[in-house]
Amino acid sequence: MSERILIVGAGQAGMQIAVSLRDAEFDGTITMVGEEPHGPYQRPPLSKAFLAGESDEESLELRSPAFYVENNIVVITDEQVLDVRWDAAHGTAITNTGREVAFDKLALTTGADVRRMDVEGVDLDGVLYLRGLADAKALKSRWDAAQDVVVIGGGFIGLEVAAVAGKNGKTTTVVHRSERLMSRVVSPTTSTFFKEAHERRGTTVLLNTQVSRFVGDGAKVTGVELADGTLIPADIVMIGIGVVPRGDLAAKLGLELANDSIVVDEFARTSDTRIVAAGDAVVMPHPLTGKGQVALESVQNAVDQAKVAANTLMGVENEYHAVPWFWSDQDTMKLQMAGISAGYDETVLRGNPDEEKFSVIYYRDGRLIAIDSVNEVLDYMAVRKALGAGQTIPSENASDTSVKLKDMVQD
């Protein structure tokens, strides 16, 4: 009998595993189960073009329905895998409808869920999160009628929503708990730039600020009360305070977890070598150094790690080695990041933040490790390429904008 592979989670990583298996001429059965009512789709536009009304639902699809038929990939939507039973050589997944799916090998691409707030009024109508298409539609259906938009959380998604709100002429406030925006991933220079750039566009950015409750008129939100008692009017509150990896099923399977994330090795193998995992649900060794444990919530990681997982399922050990990269579009500011800046001990500023065109280049022990670029695609590309080739750019020269970064690359 031909081999059966089950993929739990019909998102970016799950879809890529299925595609890569077929590309590698896997001729067994591929079944993908996803709990959302749609097949795999792109999430990045949800806080950008889709919210701005510049793209529609159909354009979000990662592949057309015909693709799955032509490639013999069975996609079961609207069903959640609740448990897995192991018999001697194979397993059976059980979904919430009671369906049983037998398999020989298993891939977990369960992604992440939004981190939820536990404050009074969080259930009022108009207080929203943004992870999936259903959330985006809920936001969109209230968007045109709303004037006052309050975003809780100054991370990528919150700032992208704030940028669309500002552009659409809404009175926009970002309430952020820590002392600088996107503080987990970017340098103070980049954080300060984004604060000032959003303020220039008319958005109010409140740092070091806590929410005490959401207030409403009946069932509908009307405002956000801050810890100091200030009340900010709100027709919509969008909460974007990070994500929690979906390790619930992995926990039931007894897999090793680190703070809810599924622990995988450089071959995307979990602690049970019959099971691979990829995407937002996992932590892995740093994809360039092979050291430590990192979580990367990005399309690049979901895709590249899924390719590694598909190889592993095919019995081919192909180590995950890739330059992490990410982007965030906030009005006219295109932020592009390559590498992982955590642990940096030096930064070099190249270009001029006041012109909204610059890069921050990160170093550790004198070696290049990462870049954030705003509207400087050539800098970003040069660093991404250098990191991929294991090369560096001397920090003492990197600020010199009369020389292209790509011409400074050294071994």
Ligand X SMILES: Cc1cc2nc3c(=O)[nH]c(=O)nc-3n(C[C@H](O)[C@H](O)[C@H](O)COP(=O)(O)OP(=O)(O)OC[C@H]3O[C@@H](n4cnc5c(N)ncnc54)[C@H](O)[C@@H]3O)c2cc1C
Residue ranges in contact with ligand X by CB under 6 A: 8-14, 33-36, 43-44, 46-47, 80-81, 109-112, 130-131, 157, 246, 249, 279-281, 297-300, 302, 326-328
Give φ, ψ of 308 to 5 degrees.
-65, -45
Q: Which is nearer to ligand X, 10 or 288 (CB)?
A: 10
Q: Cβ 318 to ligand X, closest distance in Å? A: 19
Q: Cβ 157 to ligand X, closest distance in Å? A: 5
Q: Cβ 224 to ligand X, closest distance in Å? A: 21
Q: Which is nearer to ligand X, 81 or 369 (CB)?
A: 81
Residues 398/358, Cβ–Cβ less than 8 Å:
no
Q: Residue 59 gets which letter from DSSP?
A: G
Q: Cβ 209 to ligand X, closest distance in Å? A: 23
How far apart (Å, rounded) are the C-alpha atoms in residues 338 and 361? 10
Q: Residue 250 gets which letter from DSSP?
A: H
Q: Cβ 215 to ligand X, closest distance in Å? A: 26
How far apart (Å, rounded) are the C-alpha atoms in residues 101 and 4? 10
Q: Which is nearer to ligand X, 313 or 348 (CB)?
A: 313
Single-letter residue type at 35: E
Q: Which is nearer to ligand X, 221 or 281 (CB)?
A: 281
| Of 279, 310, 322, residue with least CA distance to 12 | 279
Q: Which is nearer to ligand X, 39 or 351 (CB)?
A: 39
Question: CA angle 328-158-347, nearest 5°?
Answer: 50
Residues 325/300, Cβ–Cβ less than 8 Å:
yes
Cα dihedral across residues 275, 276, 278, 283: positive or negative: positive
Q: Which is nearer to ligand X, 261 or 392 (CB)?
A: 261
Q: Cβ 193 to ligand X, closest distance in Å? A: 18
Residue with smallest beta-carbon separation from ligand X: 11
